[in-house]
Amino acid sequence: MATLFHTLMTRMGQRLLQQYRYPDDQEWRWSLGYCQGDGCACVGTLDNAALQRLLPVLAERQSLNIETQLALLASMLSPVTVSLTLSRRGGRATHAGCIQIEILDFPDAEEALYQTLYHALRQDLDTLCAVAERQGYQLLDATVPPFDSDVLFERRTRHFALRAVAETHDDGQALAEDPTLWDETLALLLEHGARLLTLRLELVCLTTGDCLAQDWQSEVVITANQPVRQWFDREVLRELMHAARHAIEQKRLAYQAIRSAA
């Protein structure tokens, strides 16, 4: 099963490809561990029709003059295909520089035009992958806690503590048949600094250190500076209290049985 982060990255990558006018069926690869050589790269094929759709915006982004644009269009009257593959000469590195660009069936007599198209694609992919990397790290920070147990809040009485702890949780949802269902969530995470977390809610006895009750909430959206009362489900608190009372009663009965046996 895909992780939640993987699902969000996949949809984010689709949206970027659409925004940059690339076919959105290109496959994204990423390695985001804040290490040298980490980044994002897309692989796939641009057929002749896709290249013709891409060319006007590519020319605008890479400042190709109208004469060059028209010459490139003319060269695509016969089918030209671009293959994007991931070169592994750099070991496990995954970034735009690892993308191997092959322009197939380009007219042999147009070497200068070939080089122009190649460098325009290279620069465009560098930009696209840099944006994907930046947004990927945003999603990573928004969905994965910085620590093994990231305590979001704690409320204490004399004997008990209620905690909400963010956890790394591998279970996620596959990209839905309608992937746009994730767009609102992506907007919150990328544009408004929200977090999307799995929470472990626990009620702990401070006297013994025992966890009396716990429960999990998945895909909890917490916006920046949002008060706890707006994202904490108080119904879960009632369920925790009920479970804690049951646990305490069971322990009382167990101790009572030990005393009777003695």
Residue 99 predicted with pLDDT over 90: yes
Residue 115 predicted with pLDDT over 80: yes
Dump pLDDT digits (tens) for 203-225: 999 998 999 999 998 889 999 88
Q: Say which amino acid occupies 183.
A: D
Dump pLDDT digits (tens) for 216-257: 988 899 998 899 989 988 888 899 989 889 888 888 887 787
Closest CA to 154 of 220, 196, 199: 199
Dump pLDDT digits (tens) for 129-144: 999 999 999 999 999 8
- In angstroms, the first-to-last Cα distance of the chain is 52
| pLDDT of res. 218 | 86
| pLDDT of res. 21 | 97
What whole-number distance in Å separates Cα of residue 208 and Cα of residue 194? 36
- The SS3 call for residue 152 is strand
pLDDT top residue among 147 and 167? 167
Dump pLDDT digits (tens) for 162-185: 999 998 766 555 555 677 788 999
Say if CB 129 and CB 39 are below 8 A apart. yes
Dump pLDDT digits (tens) for 10-55: 999 999 999 999 999 999 999 998 888 899 999 999 999 999 999 9
Q: Which of left, alpha, beta for 137 (phi over 0: left; psi -120 to 50: alpha)?
A: alpha
What whole-number distance in Å separates Cα of residue 122 and Cα of residue 101? 8
Closest CA to 137 of 24, 1, 12, 2: 12
- Give all strands (DSSP E) within the chain, no chain letters: 27-31, 39-46, 81-86, 99-104, 150-156, 160-167, 195-205, 211-222
Closest CA to 98 of 81, 116, 84: 84
DSSP bridge pairs for 211:
204
What whole-number distance in Å separates Cα of residue 163 and Cα of residue 116? 59
Running DSSP on this structure, what letter comes out for residue 182?
Answer: G
CB neighbour burial string for 188-211, b if at least 16 within 10 angstroms, e if fewer: bbbeeebbbbbbbbbbbbeeeeee
Query: Model-level pTM?
Result: 0.84
Running DSSP on this structure, what letter comes out for residue 129?
Answer: H
